[in-house]
Amino acid sequence: MLEDRDLKSIQMARNLVQKAKKAQKKLVEYSQAEIDNLVAELAKAAAAEAKPLAELAVEETGMGIVEDKIEKNLLASTKLWDYIKDMKTVGVVRDDKEKKITEIASPMGVIAALVPSTNPTSTTIYKSLISLKAANSIVFSPHPSAQKCIQKSVEVLNKKLVELGAPEGLINCIDIVSLEGTSELMSHEDVSLILATGGSAMVKAAYSSGTPALGVGPGNVPVFIERSADLEKAVQRIMQSKTFDNGTICASEQSVVVESCIKDEVVELFKKENAYFLDADESKKVEKTIQLAHGGLNPAIVGKSAKKIAELAGIKVPNNCRVLISETDGVGQAHPFSREKLAPLLGFYTVDDWEEGCEMSIDILNYGGLGHSLGIHSKNEEVIRAFALKKPTSRILVNTPTALGATGATTNLAPSMTLGCGSKGGNATSDNITPLNLFDRRRIAYGVRDLETKQTKITDFDLKNSGDEELEIIIDKILEKLTQK
C-alpha cells in the first residue's frame, strides 16, 4: 500500500510535468539568439556558484573533494557553453541546396532527468543547459542522498531565469523523492525523453518505462601502459585521474595493465606519486571492504579517500597515501579489484606484451565496462590503432587521464556528464550527450528524379541468370505494379 509520502511524490511529479509542458510551449517561440542568450546567462550563473554548490555537495553526500567538484561545475557550465554555443538547435539547422534537403529542429518537449549522488550539482547544471539549448524543459528526480545540493542547483538556475523573464517551469525538481514518484515521472505520457545518469538499476528502469531514454552504462575502465610510453607522465596522469574527486567519475581508471618489461619502473613511479601497493593480506582486507557479501559495490567506499578506505579495512597506510593498488591476475566477482570502484583504488595487472594487454583489457571491459571507455599510454601508433579496432568501447583515450579525457576536460570530446555506451553497453547511443541528441529533425526533401517504368513482364526473365540491367528492369516493373494497387 502506498504511503502518503509516495502519493505526494507521484502528484508532485505530475504537477511538475504539466508545469514544464506549459513552459516549453512558450520556449519553442524563442529564436536561436534568444535561446542562446538564455543558456549563456545560465552558464554564467552556475559558474558564479560553482564553489558553494561544490561545498554543499561534499557536505551532503560525504563524497569527493570540494576543489574537484568546483572544476566539474565549471566543466558543466562555462566549458560546456563554449562547446555548444554555436550549435544550431532552433529552426533550420541544415540546408543542403545541392541535395535539396532541409532539416528543421523539432524540440522533444519535456525531459525527465535522473541525477546521481556522485556528480550531483555538475550533472544538474549540465542537463539543464543542454535541454534548454534544444528548446526543451526539464524535470529532475534527485538522488535521495544528494537532494539538497541538486535542489540548490535548480534554485540557482531558476533565479536567473526569473531575472531574464523566462517562462516559469523550464527547470523543475521533485521535492518529495520516492521510487514511486520517479517511476511516475519516467512513465508520464507528457514526458518525451529520459536522461538517465546513475546506477545500473535506475538506468534499466528508465529503459523499461516505456518512454524513450538516453542512459549510460557502468565504466569499468582499464588503462594499458605500453613500453613506448612516457612512463612518468603516464603514471602522473593516471594518478591525477584516479584521485580526481576521489574517483567518482565513472570514466576514471579502474585497472592498470602493464607490460612486464616496464613493470618495475612503473611500480616505482606509482610509489613516487604516493600510491600504496597492498600486500596479499592487506589486499584481502580491502577486497572485503570493496564488495558486499551479495557481490555489490559497498557504497561506504564511494568517493572516499584512500586513507579512509584503509581505515575501514583495518589496515595502516602512510598519511600521504593517495591511491591503494593491488596486484592481481584474475577478473570477475572473485576478484573485487577487477570491478568498477568509484574510489581511489586500482587493480594492477602484468602482461608479457601488448597483444596480451589487449586481451586482458577486453576481459576487464567484459566484467561490467562494455561500451564505455579505455585508456592507453603509448607512442606506438600501430598499437594504439590495434587497440581502437579491437576494443568494445565507445572511447579510446590516448595519453590523457581517462576521467578527464572522457568528459571532455583534457580532450576535444564534447564536455559531458552523460557518457553513452552504445549497444554494447545496453545504451541507445555511444555519444557524449549534447543538445544535438535532444531534438528531432524534421526533413524537407524535394523530388530530384521521376520513376521510369518499363512495359516488361517479370516472368520474361530468369532471375538467376539476369544481369544488372535486367534486374533493374524487373525491379522497375515490381514498383510499377505496386503503385497501381
Residue 456 has pLDDT above 60, yes or no: no
Provide the pLDDT confidence category of residue 454 given band limits of 50, 70 and 90: low
Distance CA 400, CA 320 (A): 24
- Burial of residue 158 (number of CB atoms within 10 Å: 0-12, 13-18, 19+): buried
How does the average pLDDT of the chain come out, rounded?
94
Phi, psi of 399, rounded to the nearest 5 degrees = 50, 45
3-state helix, strand, coil in the chain (%, to 5): 50, 20, 35
Distance CA 196, CA 115 (A): 7
Q: Once rounded to an integer, what is the mean pLDDT over residues 308-316? A: 97
How far, rounded to the nearest angstrom, does the alpha carbon of residue 406 sit from its chain's CA centroid?
A: 9
CB 281 within 8 A of CB 431: no
CB 315 within 8 A of CB 286: yes
3-state secondary structure of 119: coil
Strands 101-107 and 439-445: antiparallel
Q: Once rounded to an integer, what is the mean pLDDT over residues 259-284? A: 98
**pLDDT in the model for residue 476:** 76
Angle 257-262-266 (CA atoms, 0-180°, nearest 5)? 70
User: For residue range 44-63, what is the model confidence (pLDDT) as tens digits?
Assistant: 999 999 999 999 999 999 99
Considering 250, 261, 321, 358, which one is annotated as catalytic? Answer: 250
Provide the pLDDT confidence category of residue 480 given band limits of 50, 70 and 90: confident
pTM recorded for the entire structure: 0.91
Domains and CATH numbers, the chain: 4-216+433-441 (3.40.605.10), 221-402 (3.40.309.10), 452-485 (no CATH)
250 belongs to the catalytic site: yes
Residue 468 has pLDDT above 90, yes or no: no
Among candidates 262, 284, 266, 287, which has minimal Cα distance to 275? 266
